[in-house]
Amino acid sequence: PRISKTVRHPDGTTATTHYGWDGDRIVREETDQQRTTVVYEPGSFVPMLRIEDTPQGQRLSAYVTDALGTPMQLVNAHGETAWQAQPHDWAATQHERGHTAQPIRFQGQWHDEESGLYYNRHRYYDPQQGRYISQDPIGLQGGMNLYVYVNNNPIGYVDPKGLETVVTIWQPVGWGASSFGHVSTSINDTTYSFGPSGMSILPTEVYLGNNAFRSGVGTTLNLSSEQESQLQSCMSNFNDSYNALKNNCGAPIQNCLRELGHDLGGKLLPVSLGNSLLDSELAKEVEFYPQTIPATGTSAPWAK
């Protein structure tokens, strides 16, 4: 992560800003004149409070965010608006005004005033173009477009770190094993899907396109980068034989999470696994993937 930034002004002087981190979140920004601390909602990237320590004293402000967690206002202790903006397409803001700088944008993004770019930890995002200017650190595993932002769908998909882990429970379809639903796991834009033919590993963008005939509910997991790496290694090396009753589509993610110390109880049905995830400390946020094309064929009566 970034720990400091130095800006050189036209007159030759420089100004350095230092950053403090709490896990994946920037919680402190410090210059020679001011130290700013941000308090977030527990387990999220949504800011709640801002504490500014200056030579003149301490100032406390509260964030007002939109439904996506993007700050739209900063209100001081007297109820006065210190900063405000309006939402714009592709995580950008517009009509920004106020007497203080407020760099937090869409969850996980930090505005660089000098470049106009949003620092997204793993790479930089250009809000004017609606795409990253840095290549995807996982290369072609995330799809052919190395600069794409949330699969070109900023409403349906979010990715506050530029990388994330999502377990999706898919709608039951057909008459076979999938008539009870299905489980897939996306880790850093690579999707793992276990079935009678073994483990399928595809770019998430491709997998979502292949499954557009059914809807799904994805649970984003609250994992560290190290845990994500361990989970990805475990899923990649899973080579057990498929068994609908003992080792089905939900087995790999449950086994691998158990290795990380999270036991979900060996759920048999996808919907039961989904409920256990939502009730666990792992659940960070939920996304809905709508069905976008008609399903072909018929489905079992219980596939509802």
CATH fold of the domain at 165-289: endopeptidase fold (from Nostoc punctiforme) (3.90.1720)
How does pLDDT run across 157-191, given as a tens digit for each residue? 555 554 689 999 998 888 776 788 999 999 988 89
Distance, CA of 94 to chain centre:
23
Mean pLDDT of the chain: 84
How does pLDDT run across 78-112, given as a tens digit for each residue? 999 999 988 766 556 778 888 888 998 877 788 88
* Percent of the chain whose pLDDT exceeds 70: 87
Q: Would the pLDDT of 120 be above 90?
A: no
Tell me the average pLDDT across 59-82: 89
How does pLDDT run across 219-237, given as a tens digit for each residue? 999 888 889 989 999 999 9
Q: Would the pLDDT of 141 be above 70?
A: no
| Prediction pTM value | 0.50
Q: CA–CA distance from 223 to each of 10, 45, 48, 127, 302 (Å)? A: 43, 14, 22, 27, 34
pLDDT for position 285: 82
Q: Domain ranges for the chain, please list them.
A: 4-132, 165-289
